[in-house]
Chains A and B, each alone.
Chain A
């Protein structure tokens, strides 16, 4: 049953990563896209533009979600690959916890800066 939930979560996070990455890339290339259509905007990749977006709750939320979904998708995929190496259930449990701790550390590191920017 646990694997069924994990598989379902893997599917959902995969879809969410695709959607959020599309938004991320579209915004990064927004200047190019709009100039193609004859509109001029300030460069979305410029430092000031990035800082402005980082201080908005919506954008910080999008990037934190992208990080969370991406980490889950990648680390659960890694766990699935390791599952096939034939490790004993006890070793697999240890490995699963190591992966969870690894993921949480990366999530904390990744969310620190956006949270600080939001609150200052």
Chain B
């Protein structure tokens, strides 16, 4: 497609209202599409012009909030981050993310995702509670230490990795790539001292040993996070801890408060001074 040429594309959308329908069914809508039109823009066109009852989640429209995850032609995508042209097809099939309950149409229930995420304690745990509650200064962290887990901080909790994961499909209690990736992200954080607590959670039934490294999660992630790699690194930590080969780790200390402050840049004479 070039320039402003408009082409009609059929959006085949899975509809399901648990209050009315016995099972999901498909409805087709014809959507005019230009060069650069995203799947989300197509859905908004349907909502505004063809069927206002269509339900889907959207918020930021720029691949940051993780709201609009769905299956496009049976592959998990963020609708706002995916252009219709990418599929080289006159027909797109849209379904809600699998491995999660459906609230309505294309809206999955993400409750289990957030419950599992919360269960791995995705926050910095430190022995000095006083410092945590009333921080006096910043914790130190070198660039190299940050690089160890930086990519895993990009997770937007969209659920695409869970939709792609074959183990999540067969075991509903499996912690899943999102939660396991985040467990590693905090274990690898040099400021954290909660590794033992997290390893006990992930090294359990329905935990990290159920992953069989299909790596579909890493393929699906729209933010370039590699949860499959995180799970392998987490396994290394679990085995290291079990056989007593884990590296001794002391959580990073705080930066000493500045004793001298640098002189402020003098305000030029022509600047309007505050009263």
Given contacts A3-B203, A83-B210, A84-B210, contact A8 B170 (CB under 8 A): no
CA distance A8 to B243 in the complex (A): 9
The answer to the question of A38 belonging to the interface, with a C-beta cut-off of 8 Å to chain B, is no
CA distance A16 to B232 in the complex (A): 21
Q: Is A7 in contact with B209, judged by CB distance below 8 angstroms?
A: yes
Q: Is B171 in contact with A4, judged by CB distance below 8 angstroms?
A: no
B174 to chain A, nearest CB (A): 9
CA distance A118 to B241 in the complex (A): 41
A residues 1-51 in Cβ contact with B at 8 Å? 1, 3-5, 7-8
A83 to chain B, nearest CB (A): 7
Given contacts A7-B209, A83-B210, A84-B212, contact A1 B242 (CB under 8 A): yes
A18 to chain B, nearest CB (A): 19
The answer to the question of B1 belonging to the interface, with a C-beta cut-off of 8 Å to chain A, is no
Q: Is B242 in contact with A84, judged by CB distance below 8 angstroms?
A: no
| Interface SS of A by simple majority | helix
Within 8 Å by CB of B171, from A3, A80, A84, A89, lies: A84
Instruction: Give the chain A neighbours of B242 by CB distance below 8 A.
Output: 1, 4-5, 8
Instruction: Give the chain B neighbours of A4 by CB distance below 8 A.
Output: 203, 238-239, 241-243
Q: Is B167 in contact with A84, judged by CB distance below 8 angstroms?
A: yes
Instruction: Give the chain B neighbours of A84 by CB distance below 8 A.
Output: 167, 170-171, 210, 212
CA distance A85 to B212 in the complex (A): 12
Q: Is A1 in contact with B203, judged by CB distance below 8 angstroms?
A: yes
CA distance A3 to B211 in the complex (A): 12
Residues of B whose CB lies within 8 Å of any CB of A are 167, 170-171, 203, 205, 209-210, 212, 235, 238-239, 241-243
**11 A-B pairs whose Cβ atoms sit less than 8 Å apart in the complex:** A4-B203, A4-B238, A4-B241, A7-B209, A7-B238, A7-B239, A8-B243, A80-B209, A84-B171, A85-B170, A89-B205
Known: A1-B203, A7-B209, A86-B171. 8 other contacts (CB 8 A): A1-B242, A3-B203, A8-B239, A83-B209, A84-B167, A84-B170, A84-B171, A85-B170
